Amino acid sequence: MQLKDMLLDLNYEVLQGNLNIEVQEIENDSRKVKQGVLFFCIAGSVRDGHDFAIEVAEKGACALIVEREVDVPDTVTVIKVESSRYAMGMISSRFYGEPSKKMTVIGITGTKGKTTTSYMIQNMLLKTGHKTGLIGTIEIIDGKEHIPASNTTPESLTLQRILRDMVQNGVDSVVMEVSSQGLMLDRVAGVDFDYGIYTNLSEDHIGPNEHASFEEYRMWKSKLFTMCKVGIFNQDDANYREILKGHTCEVITYGMEEAADYHAGQWKLYRSEGHLGISYHLSGKRTGEMLVNIPGRFSIYNSLSAIAVASEMGVGLDTIADALKDIKVRGRVELVPVSDAFTILIDYAHNAVSLESILETLREYQPKRLIAVFGCGGNRSKTRRYEMGEVSGRMADFTIITSDNPRFEEPEAIIQDIVTGIEKTDGAYITIIDRKEAFRYAIMNAKEGDVIVLAGKGHEDYQEIKGVKYHMDERELIREVLEEEDVSKICGYNHRYFA
């Protein structure tokens, strides 16, 4: 592709060289540069791409996008822009054929609920015949493969390449989580969003290398609604009005207030044969009875936003209702069906705030006992361990403290830090270092009416020890326990599960 054609709609200055050159590939990783590559000099928190200008020129880069002057041979074209990150998004989109314009693109932003909502929407669209891709915290689904995710929102060059692959794979719609970092660092520059969803906002991602304040965090979240055609907003959230400021999109609302375009009323919790969920009456633009197979009142909001998008895209209400009844999101309040008598859930809660939230949610179902099984990661804040221990001691009836990702620390030392926190309360607990054995203890000692939450790992399928990631899937650990034990001794065990 000609360099001059890649720079359309950008403000730039040619410091040296010729725009009438052919670009074979684009890169922001100096290690991958070869002959004919356009290289983006990105000033990162650890490395500055400008420092590699000479190196990439020697490797055969034909052009550089920079924010300041660099000393390279005059055979290399150098283009100066105000923001290399923004330019990378816009140029990447053009280089890969503006793929987002060839699909319906749905972006979801907010502190909580992005992952679950994205799977709800994808499930609804799949059921109505859309070939739907997904980009999020857990994985990327590009129409052919399921690829583990490394960032909630990938760098723009990678993102545009993924979108190009989706188009080539026949995908006609894509749901993606849009993080505040993704918006602040222009990772979604060049993406043509049809729909933007706002879930909620709370204190998060504030500190060094993230956001300086809550106000700044909120400001970057609101940017999505200057980029999309239709915005779908949780009007019950306290920050709704602030997020709405400066929007350029059509506004659609959801919530529990009757003024919302999609309104949930008459909600109630349900519990049946080990399953936990919530039901409500939908009114407003659509009317019907909804049942969501994920526990907690937050499931009402997640499902309402998904219903709004799907409805605006023409999905039938029966299809929407069917999708919500069988929705299952890996590692997000995920039911593992072991028994009709008690409930086991896997959840990604890995800090005090998220652990408190899930325990508070599950407490509403009035379990006989609420049991928390969790550990904490090594080489991370000790404060997190004290806080999680204290939260579990205060809110769970019984806690099983075990190992998470010990990394380069000893599991015993991490567990002792959690014990320090839990002993500030009157909470009962036991320590079992081996995670599988902790699960065995929970299952074999479960009683009718218990709710057990396995917290911390969620969708992860590994355990990191001394720099090595070993395969460890919690669902497989539960299966192994069931295969090894006399299942007749498990309360309410149903042999159909894990068949």
Q: Which residues pair with 65 in a beta bridge?
A: 40, 79
Reported as type and span, the H/E element at residue 228 is: strand 228-234
As a whole-number percent, the residues of the chain with pLDDT over 90 amount to 91
Q: Which of 169-173, 180-184, 288-292, 374-378 has the lowest mean pLDDT?
A: 180-184
Cα–Cα dist 337/357, whole Å: 22
Domain boundary, last residue among 260, 295, 325: 325
- What pLDDT does residue 405 have? 97
361 shares a domain with 244 = no
In a domain, 494, yes or no: no
Residue 245 lies in a domain: yes
Q: Quick check: is 497 in a domain?
A: no
Q: The domain spanning residue 400 has which CATH number?
A: 3.90.190.20
* Of residues 447, 437, 120, the one with CA closest to residue 305: 120
Residues 113 and 241 placed together within one structural domain of the fold: yes
pLDDT at 499 exceeding the cut of 70: no
Structure confidence at residue 204 (pLDDT): 59
Task: Give the DSSP letter string of 328-386.
Answer: --TTSSEE---BSSSEEEEE---SHHHHHHHHHHHHTT--S-EEEEE---SSS-HHHHH
The token duo for 258 is 């009757």
- pLDDT (mean) for 205-219: 75
Q: Which of 336, 270, 335 is nearest to 300 (CA)?
A: 270
Write the CATH number for 61. Answer: 3.40.1390.10
State the CB neighbour count (10 A cutoff) for residue 405.
Answer: 23
| Confidence label for 498 from pLDDT (cuts 50, 70 and 90) | low
Query: Could you tell me if 247 and 351 lie in one domain?
Result: no
Q: Does pLDDT of 299 surpass 80?
A: yes
Mean pLDDT confidence for 119-128: 97
Supply the range of the domain harboring residue 290: 99-325
Q: What is the pLDDT of residue 206?
A: 59
**Is residue 498 domain-resident?**
no
What residues does 427 pair with on adjacent strands? Answer: none
For the sheet containing 77-80, what is the strand order?
13-16, 77-80, 63-66, 37-40, 25-27
User: Quick one: 280 and 139 in the same domain?
Assistant: yes
Pairing of strands 250-255, 139-141: unpaired
Q: How many CB atoms lie within 10 A of CB 460?
A: 20
Q: How confident is the model at residue 385 (pLDDT cuts 50, 70, 90)?
A: very high
Q: Does the pLDDT of residue 209 top 70, yes or no?
A: no
Same domain? For 302 and 155 the reply is yes
Token pair 């816009």: residue? 90
- CATH code, domain carrying 155: 3.40.1190.10
| Backbone phi and psi for residue 88, each to the nearest 5 degrees, phi listed first | -65, -40
User: What pLDDT sits at residue 46?
Assistant: 83
CB-facing half-sphere around the CA of 20: CA atoms within 13 A: 0
Residues 275 and 411 in one domain: no
Q: How many domains does the chain have?
A: 3
Percent of the chain with pLDDT over 70: 97
Give the angle subtended at the CA of 107 by the CAs of 104 and 110, to the nearest 5°: 165
- Shared domain for 203 and 297, answered yes or no, is yes
How much is the pLDDT for 53?
97
Beta strands in 315-388 (DSSP E): 334-335, 343-347, 370-374
Measure the CA angle with vertex 423, ends 409 and 463; round to 5°: 30
496: in domain: no
The residue among 24, 51, 50 whose CA lies nearest residue 37 is 24
Give the integer Cα–Cα distance in Å for 378 and 355.
Answer: 18
The stretch 349-371 carries a mean pLDDT of 96
Which of the pair, 452 or 499, is modelled with greater confidence? 452
Provide CB contacts within 8 A for 36, sequence distance 6+.
22, 23, 24, 25, 60, 62
Would you place residue 208 in the very low, low, confident or very high pLDDT band (cuts 50, 70, 90)?
A: low
Residue 461 domain-assigned (yes or no): yes
Q: What does residue 73 show for φ and ψ, rounded to 5 degrees?
A: -55, 150
Are residue 269 and residue 230 in the same domain, yes or no?
Answer: yes
Confidence (pLDDT) at 427: 98
Q: What is the pLDDT of residue 413?
A: 98
DSSP 488: G
Q: How confident is the model at residue 205 (pLDDT cuts 50, 70, 90)?
A: low
Please give the pLDDT value at position 214.
85
**DSSP bridge pairs for 470:** 463
> In this predicted model, what pLDDT tens digit does every residue of 128-187 receive, in sequence order?
999 999 999 999 999 999 999 988 999 999 999 999 999 999 999 999 999 998 999 999
pLDDT in tens, 70-104: 999 999 999 999 999 999 999 999 999 999 999 99
User: pLDDT tens digits, residue range 224-248?
Assistant: 999 999 999 999 999 999 999 999 9
Gap between the terminal Cα atoms of the chain:
54
Q: Could you tell me if 87 and 116 lie in one domain?
A: no
Residue 300: predicted pLDDT: 98
Tell me whether residue 215 is in a domain. Answer: yes
Residue length of the chain: 499
Same domain as 338, residue 208: no
- Give the three-class secondary structure for 231: strand
- Write down which residue in 71, 95, 119 finishes a domain: 95
Q: Are residues 311 and 442 in the same domain?
A: no
Is 41 in contact with 67 (CB distance < 8 Å)?
Answer: yes
Q: In the predicted model, is pLDDT for residue 213 greater than 90?
A: no
Mean pLDDT of 372-395: 96
Q: At what angle do helices 382-395 and 411-422 cross, to 10 degrees?
A: 50
Residues 51 and 41: their CA atoms lie apart, in Å, by 8
Q: In this predicted structure, what is the pLDDT of residue 94?
A: 98
Q: What is the pLDDT of residues 394-410, one digit of tens each?
A: 999 999 999 999 999 99
**In a shared domain, residues 347 and 320:** no
Return the DSSP state at 257.
Answer: S
Closest by CA position to 345, among listed 458, 427, 447: 458
pLDDT one-digit tens code per residue, 5-16: 999 989 999 999
pTM over cut 0.75: yes
**Alpha carbons 309 and 194: distance in angstroms, whole number:** 10
Is residue 170 assigned to a domain?
A: yes
Q: In whole angstroms, what is the distance from residue 451 CA to residue 453 CA?
A: 7
Query: Taking 60 as the threshold, does the pLDDT of residue 496 lie above it?
Result: no
